[in-house]
C-alpha cells in the first residue's frame, strides 16, 4: 500500500498537461500582461508618446514634404520608438516584480515556466506595433511622407520583430538592479544608444570613431531595417536581421543565467 502511494505521488506518475491547456496558459498570461499594462497609463503613455512627441517636434513641424529628410526622420524615430517597449516593458517591470516577490510567486504557480516571459514579450510586441502605427499616421498624414503599401507593411513588421533584442536587453538589465533604480539605468542605456546609432543625427555628422563603433549597438541595425522600409537603403538586410537575432539570443542567455542563479 505504501509503495503504491509513493509511486502515485512521484513526478513520473504525474500526467503531463495536455497541449491545449499549455497553449491556453500561454494565451491567458499574454492576455493578462497586455490588459495589465493597458490599465497602467504611467507605463503606456510615456512609452507610446515619448517618441511620438519627439517626431512631432523634429520631424513633422519642420515639414519637408516628399524629401529624403522626411523619410529619414520617420525611419529613425520609428527605431527609437520600438526600443522603448522592450527596454522598459521588460526591464523596469521585471526588476520591480523581482523585488516584490511576484516572480517567485509566478514560478510556484501551475503554469508553463516560459509563460511569464512570453506574456511580457507579447505585450512589448503589441505596444511596439502601436508605436509604429502612431508614427506612420503622423508621417503619412502630416509629415510629408509618401509610402506605397509594401513599404508600409515593411514598417509595420519592424515593430514586433525589432523589439525582440530590446526585450532581451531589458530583461538582462532587470536582473542586475533593484526596481527603483531600473528606470534610471535604462534611460542611461536607451538615450545614449539611440544617439550613437544615428537615430537623432545622421552618422556622417558624428566623429569618425563613433561611426566605426555604431554597428556594436542593436539600435543601429534596427535603424538600417527602418531606412530600408522607407526606401532609403538598398543594401542586403540579412546581416542586420542576423545581428538583431544574435543580440536577442546573447542577452536572453545572460538574463536566464542570472535568473537561475539569483532569482
pLDDT at 9: 44
pLDDT at 39: 76
Measured over the CA atoms of residue 85, residue 89, residue 90 and residue 95, the dihedral's sign is: positive
The string of pLDDT tens digits covering residues 112-137 is: 767 778 888 888 899 999 999 999 99
CA 250, CA 172: separation in Å to the nearest integer? 10
pLDDT at 258: 82
Q: By CB neighbour count within 10 A (0-12 exposed, 13-18 middle, 19+ buried), where does 149 fall?
A: exposed
Nine cell digits for residue 28: 491567458
The string of pLDDT tens digits covering residues 204-225 is: 888 999 999 999 999 999 999 9
Residue 193 near residue 217, CB atoms below 8 Å: yes
What DSSP character marks residue 10? S
CA 122, CA 164: separation in Å to the nearest integer? 10
Instruction: Please report how the helices 68-100 and 182-196 are oriented relative to each other, as an axis angle in degrees rounded to 10.
Output: 160
Query: How far is Cα of residue 250 from the mean position of the Cα atoms in its chain?
Result: 15
What is this structure's pTM? 0.84
The string of pLDDT tens digits covering residues 28-79 is: 877 877 787 777 777 778 888 888 988 988 888 876 666 788 889 999 999 9
Amino acid at each position: 500500500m505504501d509503495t503504491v502511494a509513493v509511486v502515485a505521488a512521484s513526478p513520473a506518475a504525474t500526467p503531463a498537461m495536455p497541449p491545449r491547456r499549455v497553449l491556453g496558459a500561454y494565451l491567458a498570461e499574454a492576455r493578462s500582461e497586455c490588459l495589465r499594462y493597458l490599465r497602467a497609463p504611467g507605463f503606456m503613455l510615456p512609452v507610446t508618446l515619448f517618441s511620438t512627441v519627439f517626431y512631432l517636434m523634429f520631424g513633422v513641424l519642420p515639414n519637408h514634404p516628399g524629401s529624403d529628410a522626411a523619410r529619414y526622420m520617420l525611419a529613425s524615430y520609428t527605431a527609437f520608438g520600438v526600443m522603448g517597449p522592450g527596454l522598459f516593458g521588460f526591464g523596469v517591470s521585471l526588476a520591480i516584480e523581482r523585488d516584490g516577490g511576484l516572480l517567485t510567486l509566478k514560478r510556484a504557480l501551475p503554469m508553463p515556466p516560459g509563460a511569464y516571459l512570453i506574456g511580457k514579450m507579447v505585450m512589448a510586441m503589441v505596444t511596439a506595433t502601436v508605436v509604429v502605427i502612431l508614427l506612420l499616421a503622423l508621417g503619412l498624414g502630416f509629415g510629408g511622407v509618401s509610402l506605397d503599401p509594401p513599404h508600409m507593411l515593411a514598417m509595420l513588421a519592424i515593430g514586433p520583430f525589432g523589439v525582440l533584442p530590446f526585450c532581451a536587453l531589458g530583461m538582462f538589465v532587470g536582473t542586475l538592479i533593484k526596481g527603483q533604480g531600473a528606470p534610471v539605468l535604462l534611460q542611461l542605456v536607451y538615450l545614449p544608444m539611440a544617439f550613437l546609432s544615428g537615430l537623432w543625427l545622421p552618422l556622417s555628422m558624428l566623429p569618425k570613431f563613433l561611426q566605426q563603433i555604431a554597428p556594436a549597438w542593436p539600435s543601429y541595425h534596427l535603424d538600417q531595417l527602418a531606412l530600408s522600409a522607407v526606401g532609403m537603403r538598398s543594401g542586403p538586410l540579412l546581416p542586420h536581421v542576423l545581428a538583431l537575432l544574435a543580440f536577442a539570443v546573447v542577452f536572453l542567455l545572460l538574463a536566464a543565467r542570472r535568473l537561475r542563479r539569483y532569482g
